Structure 1
């Protein structure tokens, strides 16, 4: 996969998944703008990319505002002359159940994830349309946004919105040959390391330097952050020119295409539906096979 001559901005790329994306894009030949709120993380990430033979510059900024988004695009243009790829990875967590979640808990997550994705994508789209040579916008979603997750009202809502924006922007930017897709990653990060079913296997793999067990890599589709980066590189490349408006999952040994929400079953009644009519027909009609919700709990094999 050759990204030579392309320029990418990766938000939230000082550590974790974002850093893996930035490194993979640079290894494929792209020049990369690294971003994080932590100046030291930015400096270390840039130094790591350059030490591996890549090209990178850093921008320390909190994603969310229009000013931050425009600063990132300006850095790409100033240092490398153009912008071809945007990866909106920046995010924070403020997990609490609904009745304990404060206004700030909700607003902070929405500002970084949802508004940050919007402002950065808008700034990138403006620049890419001006260049007139197409482009790639890769949004980072989550299984929580696809299915919901306990204690993550704010995060799940933001990630569901990101998937919806990917489908909307894929339509709006098609004439400009700018593709927009959502990546749904699952990887061993600081967050997933705390899940009781995963923690022992992750700790063992890190201690011994061995791979995660097959039940995690295949059944749960969970691997390292590097396992996820190949999809981002593919979506940044010319090879993905016909791929747009999709939500694509990746983790461990699993690559998957998520379905879009659609009507599962419909019923019709002359004159419309009263509450009583719905109640009488629900259990054996459209409600006969209700949808599941929530991320399924991991099930390690006995003895794992």
Structure 2
């Protein structure tokens, strides 16, 4: 996948998944704006990219405010002349069960993930649309980062599950709004050993072994679809490339040895009552038809035990 001549912004690119995305995009030929709230981490990634012969600059700031988003796009244009790809990756966790979650826990996650993706997506779309209006036919790529929590829900993650579900809906909406200008919008649903997955008790030991350089067991890579950040990066490269120009509005999962296409929400069953429904009729319809098709909550890995 040749990304020569293309310019990408990756938010939250100082470590883990974001770092893997930035390095992979640069290795494919893209010039990369490495964003992170940690200036030293961003600088290290830039050094790694340029040391390997790639092009990159750092743009430091916490995503969320419109000013940060506009500066990211301005930095990309000033350094490399254009913008082709946005990978909206930056995120935080503040896990608590509902009755213990504070307003601050909720607001920080919403501001970083949902508002941060909205403001960076808006700024990127404006620049990409301007390029299209000037006759550029290369289009653009907006890639948001979801989570299985947003697809299935997850215990203790009211805030995180809500924003990750919202990001998929956001990408699907943008796929409609931006299609005329050749700009695609897709969601990547990664499953990877990272500081975030390390907070999940079932994966804490696996993460420590991964950091120690041990190979990820086959039962995790294949059966659970859980791998390294580098296992996720090829999907981001493909979605950033001309090869995926017809792919938009999709939620695509990747992790370890597994590649997954998630469905859009779909109507499972429908029933009708002439003149409308009363509560007793709803109860009867539920027991007779709907109950057998009720959808479980929680990630498949939890349901599988």
- Please indicate the TM-score interval, normalised by the length of the shorter structure: over 0.9
Are the counterparts in 1 of residues 14 and 45 from structure 2 also a CA contact under 8 Å?
yes
Using the TM superposition, name which of 43-52 and 139-148 deviates more.
43-52
| TM-fit CA distance, 1:220 | 0.4
Q: Distance in 2 between matches of 1:55 and 1:71?
A: 19
Greater share of residues in helix = 2
TM norm structure 1: 0.95
Q: Give the match for residue 122 of structure 1.
A: 122
Q: Give the match for residue 143 of structure 2.
A: 138
In structure 2, the CA distance between the partners of 1:61 and 1:297, relative to structure 1 (3 Å rule), is same
Q: Where do residues 221-260 of structure 1 align in structure 2 (5 Å cutoff)?
A: 221-260=225-264
CA offsets 1:180-220 (integer angstroms, 9 cap, x no match) = 0000000010122343433334433443x342111100110
Are the counterparts in 2 of residues 197 and 298 from structure 1 also a CA contact under 8 Å?
no
1:86 aligns with 2:91: no
In structure 2, the CA distance between the partners of 1:44 and 1:242, relative to structure 1 (3 Å rule), is same
Q: Give the match for residue 42 of structure 1.
A: 42
1:275 aligns with 2:276: no
Q: Give the match for residue 216 of structure 1.
A: 220
| Counterpart secondary structure, 1:136 | strand
Q: Give the match for residue 190 of structure 2.
A: 185
TM norm structure 2: 0.95
Q: Give the match for residue 13 of structure 1.
A: 13
In structure 2, the CA distance between the partners of 1:287 and 1:84, relative to structure 1 (3 Å rule), is same
Q: Distance in 2 between matches of 1:142 and 1:82?
A: 29
Q: Give the match for residue 286 of structure 1.
A: 290
In structure 2, the CA distance between the partners of 1:105 and 1:210, relative to structure 1 (3 Å rule), is closer
CA offsets 1:147-179 (integer angstroms, 9 cap, x no match) = 111111111100000000111100010100000
Q: Give the match for residue 111 of structure 2.
A: 111
Q: Distance in 1 between matches of 2:149 and 2:211?
A: 26
Q: CA RMSD in A?
A: 1.5
1:156 paired residue among 151, 161, 164: 161
In structure 2, the CA distance between the partners of 1:172 and 1:89, relative to structure 1 (3 Å rule), is same
CA offsets 1:227-282 (integer angstroms, 9 cap, x no match) = 00000000000000010000000000000100111111111111111112101221
Q: Distance in 1 between matches of 2:107 and 2:204?
A: 30
